[in-house]
Amino acid sequence: MSYFRILYTICLLLVCSPLMVLKAQTPNQEKPNIIFILADDLGISDINSFDPLERSFYETPNIDKLAKEGMKFLQAYTNAANCAPTRAALLSGQYFPNQPIYHVGRPGAGRREPGEMVSAENADELPLEKITDAEMLQQAGYSTAFVGKWHVGRPPEYGPQQQGYQVNIGGSGDGNPGEWDGGYFEPDNNPLIDDSQNGEYLTDYLTRKAIDYITGNKDGPFYLNLSYYTPHWPLQAPEQLVKKYQQKDPDRGHHNATYAAMIESLDANIGKVLNTLDELGIAQNTVVVFMSDNGGLGGYEFIEDRPEADHMLSSGVTDNAPYKGGKTTYYEGGIRTPLIIRWPGVIQPGTTSDEPVIGIDLYPTYLELAGLENPEGYQLDGVSLTPLLENPDNSLNREA
């Protein structure tokens, strides 16, 4: 063998060997991991990088960093103004009435006035015949886990493990930690949690379990639905964090120290998840999606004895300004949500999209990422966001 041929062979081995090692470490490189992080009752203006008023009371450095590393959607909407129907739409990929969860609680829940319209019949459980995102991703070889708030049916009949999630941690039929004794500081009182540490804060617990799952499935592909309970009522946060915000001056409607502490805890725990991806070397092949299920608990509501639209007052634990309204209302403040998607190597860091998008668009997006077709004979009401991820100047075709 000639000197030049030997040199060529050595060079080829040097170039290819790192790729061979990479391939050995990531056998499913063509299918990205997917982590969906859902906050509960977090207003769009509660995230600093989304707040047009640039207020300074809340602190969200990790979520802001995620936005700088990915794409920020400036016109993202949920499918409902409160918890359960948003979750049902996300999981099933369908609007109401294609899936039956329209509201939380009984039909016509809330104040009744003469002549007041009564809401449509409402279900508490997502029917098992619905084909969820997790069921589809399993077909593509994904392991699946649900960690956190479920709220669309009670296990064992209607829980996450009956809807395509192989692992369920904390996913009960309960809508908030106020439904069990001790709230955020007694996670074991959740009927689906039995291994929290003494005094462990619920948000910390869910993150710890999510990180355990990610670590155990780092070879992928995996789909993790990390659905935090926070900052939903009851307002409870670690004492030291609350004291920190009690020392800060309120800033134009952002004023509640406990709520601010809950947001900081959420942000810090999201940072832990992102750091884990870096430490495991899988951030490059992991799509991270972050959003909230509806607007913050604040904004404008009707004065009790004068419900006319021109007699409103600002109230609540947060303020969604400049957007009107908040949770339970179908004004912008009730259904407009922060949405961030990060996919290193595909999404240009620091990009923004002005295209109107909605929560049910995530299901078909996941399918395209996994190389799957839409489920046969099953209607999906959203469209894939991948054209926007590739180029934020693209538009979505909703006519098909």
Instruction: Give the residue-averaged pLDDT of 295-312.
Output: 53
Q: Could you tell me the end-to-end alpha-carbon distance of the chain, in angstroms, rounded to an integer?
A: 61
Give the number of domains in the chain: 1
CATH code for the domain in which residue 121 is found: 3.40.720.10
Is residue 397 domain-resident? no
37: Cβ contacts below 8 Å, ≥ 6 apart? 226, 228, 270, 273, 288, 289, 290, 291
- Residue 360 to residue 385: CA distance in whole angstroms: 10
Specify whether the CB–CB gap between 147 and 202 falls below 8 A.
no
Among 113, 124, 219, 226, residue whose Cα is nearest residue 165: 226
Is residue 14 domain-resident? no
Give the E-state strand segments of 128-201 in sequence order.
143-148, 167-169
CA 396 to chain centre: 22
Is residue 121 domain-resident? yes
Is residue 399 domain-resident? no
Sign of the dihedral defined by the CA atoms of residues 160, 162, 165, 168, in that order: positive
- Residue 13 to residue 385: CA distance in whole angstroms: 39
Q: Give the tokens for residue 156.
A: 């064992």
Please write the tens of the pLDDT for every residue from 331-386: 999 999 999 999 999 999 999 999 999 999 999 999 999 999 999 999 999 999 99
Side chain identity at 65, as an amino acid letter? K
Q: Give the tokens for residue 124.
A: 């508490």
pLDDT bucket at 120, cuts 50 / 70 / 90: confident
Instruction: Look up the pTM and report it.
Output: 0.88
Specify whether the CB–CB gap between 332 and 323 falls below 8 A.
yes
Please write the tens of the pLDDT for every residue from 240-265: 999 999 999 999 999 999 999 999 99
Is residue 24 domain-resident? no
Is residue 18 domain-resident? no
Specify whether the CB–CB gap between 339 and 357 falls below 8 A.
yes
Domain span at residue 181 reads 33-390
Please write the tens of the pLDDT for every residue from 30-68: 899 999 999 999 999 999 999 999 999 999 999 999 999
Is residue 2 domain-resident? no
116: Cβ contacts below 8 Å, ≥ 6 apart? none
Among 69, 62, 91, residue whose Cα is nearest residue 79: 91
Is residue 400 domain-resident? no
Give the E-state strand segments of 41-142 in sequence order.
71-73, 76-77
